[in-house]
Amino acid sequence: MVKTIRNIVIGTIIFIFIVLLALPKMLVSAGLHPDYKEEIFSLGDKRALIIATNHGVLSKPYESTGKATGLFLSELSVPYYRFTESGISVDIASIKGGVIPLEPLPYFVKTKEDKKFLKNKDVMMKLDNSLSIKNIDFDAYDIIFLSGGWGAAYDLGFSDLLGNKISTAYYSKKEPIIGGVCHGVLGLIKAKNKEGDLLIKGRKMTGVTDKQLKELGIFFTPQHPETELRKAGVAFTSQTKFKDIFANLTVVDDEKRFVTGQNQNAGHETSYTIMEILSKREY
């Protein structure tokens, strides 16, 4: 009897170990953080600005406490490495500047770019000492990229300054491509055109779906990308799966000025598409 119990315990431990070891690959196979084309472009004369959140508390309405949250790192680390691999100079900013908090993630959700980023003291310094958008000339960039994470639901879409700076940059000489994934697209909802209308009205875009937020049980944040984009008059489109956390979609507007990704899975394709558009431009 003792030997039988011991064998069962050992067998169970081995099974759990195998499952834990295989879990990251199983999740990738299901659709989480899929790989994409690895083409490297020659864009050494280009500059990119990646903007993330300063908010680090997943609080409910009228409350100031809650679980730690912030940037979903892969929504910054993936485009960061895709851009730098193609020679693009990348600056990292936030609404207020300073610390960009990170969403605590289990090992099986972290991408290879996340792990590389976390081990690099120099790039981590950019998160701890991010530039303030107040002190940045957006007109100097060829790419403006908005990263997501739950924290972005609390500040990106409420920043008049971010909206104004994106509005000005849109009409600048460089004609930057403006991208965003997941909650990051909330940073676009206050931008306006020269006539004073919402800049994104009528454009094809995507962002994290209401369905995904409900499936994750976090629908109490102050803004939801699908809801806010639809309010802004966006031609919203998305893909779905049995769980939308495994869905993936990148959308380009007709003018090829906005490239948006549905959720945390879109980092590779969204950044690749931005660079592909840039590489084909005639100056």
Residue by residue, pLDDT tens for the chain (283 residues) are 555 655 554 555 544 444 445 566 776 678 888 888 878 999 999 999 999 999 999 999 989 899 999 999 999 999 999 999 999 999 999 999 999 999 998 878 899 999 999 999 999 999 999 999 999 999 999 999 999 999 999 999 999 999 999 999 999 999 999 999 999 999 999 999 999 999 999 999 999 999 999 999 999 999 999 999 999 999 999 999 999 999 999 999 999 999 999 999 999 999 999 999 999 986 6
DSSP letter, residue 263? S
Residue that is written with structure tokens 């004609």 in the block: 175
Q: 229 near 205, Cβ under 8 Å?
A: yes
C-alpha to C-alpha distance for 33 and 110, rounded to whole angstroms? 9
Is the pTM here over 0.85, yes or no? yes
The full length of the chain comes to 283
Q: Which residues of 185-202 are buried (b: 16+ CB within 10 A; e: fewer)?
A: bbbbbbbbeeeeebbbee
Which residues touch 228 (CB under 8 Å, ≥6 apart)? 157, 186, 189
